[in-house]
Amino acid sequence: MRIKSGQDFAAGLLFIAVGVAAFWIGADYPMGTPQRPGTGVLPRILAWCLIGTGALLWLKALLVEGPNLTRWAWRPVIMISLATVAFALLVDRLGLVVAMLVSMTLAALGTPQTRWLEYAVFTLVMVAIGVGMFVYGLRMPIPIWPKDLPGALSWN
């Protein structure tokens, strides 16, 4: 047997994997009684449904020609993820300005099309808008600058 659609096969694999994981993690959730169904009823039903759907997709992948997997665009995926994570980790510790600068630079590295002069101007405008709108305008309690640099760098 040959896999005729890598895409369907991978989707099936995903559903089956999540289904099995859900079943395994939820194995000790109580089932309750028919009159008072417990915590574990729906997770178990859904796990079976996911496994079933995945199995049908596998069957389809073996029987029906379909699209194959396409290449992942690793660069934007990694850089945009890093940009988001950087914002999350930095905003409380080093303030909004640093978080924005780091995060937006990482995002700009996500595409070869970035023109750095244009990017620099745009980023400064965005930082001004961000601070003006969210800290001064909406009065969100976000630090703008690092409060004390050594403390912030100690990473607690």
Partner 1 sequence: MELGGLFANLSLGLSVAMTVQNLFWCLMGAVIGTAVGVLPGVGPTATMALLLPATYFLPPEGALIMLAGIYYGSQYGGSTTAILVNLPGEASSVVTTLDGHQMALQGRAGPALAIAAIGSFFAGTVATLAIAMAAPPLTKLAQQFAPADYFSLMALGLVFAVVLARGSALKAFGMIFLGMLLGLVGTDVNTGNTRFTFDISDLFDGLGFVPLVMGIFGIAEIMHNLADPQRRDLATAKISGLFPTMADIKRSIAPILRGTALGGLLGILPGGGAVLASFSAYTVEKKLSATPEKFGTGMIEGVAAPESANNAAAQTSFIPMLTLGIPSNAVMAMMIGGMMIHGIIPGPQVMEQRPGLFWGMIVSMWLGNLMLVVLNLPLIGIWVRMLLVPYRLLAIAILFFCCIGVYSLNNSANEVLIIALFGVIGYLLMKLDCEPAPLLLGFLLGPMMEVYMRRAMLLSRGDPWVFLQRPLSLTFLAIAVLLMVFILLPNIRRARETAFQE
Contacting partner 1 within 24-43 (CB under 8 A): 25-26, 29-30, 32-39, 42-43
Total site size for partner 1, rule CB under 8 A: 75
Which residues, 37 to 76, sit near partner 1 by CB under 8 A? 37-39, 42-43, 46-47, 49-50, 53-54, 56-57, 59-60, 63-65, 67, 69-70, 72-73, 75-76
Cβ 3 to partner 1, closest distance in Å? 14
Binding of residue 94 to partner 1 (CB under 8 A): no
Is the separation of the CB atoms in 5 and 65 below 8 Å? yes
Which residues, 122 to 141, sit near partner 1 by CB under 8 A? 122-123, 126, 130, 134, 138, 140-141
Distance CA 145, CA 101 (A): 12
Cβ 100 to partner 1, closest distance in Å? 6
Distance CA 85, CA 79 (A): 10
Distance CA 6, CA 60 (A): 11
Q: What is the largest CA-CA distance in the chain?
A: 67
Cβ 84 to partner 1, closest distance in Å? 4
Cβ 149 to partner 1, closest distance in Å? 19
Q: 50 CB contacts (<8 Å, ≥6 apart)?
A: 15, 16, 18, 19, 22
Is the separation of the CB atoms in 38 and 29 below 8 Å? yes
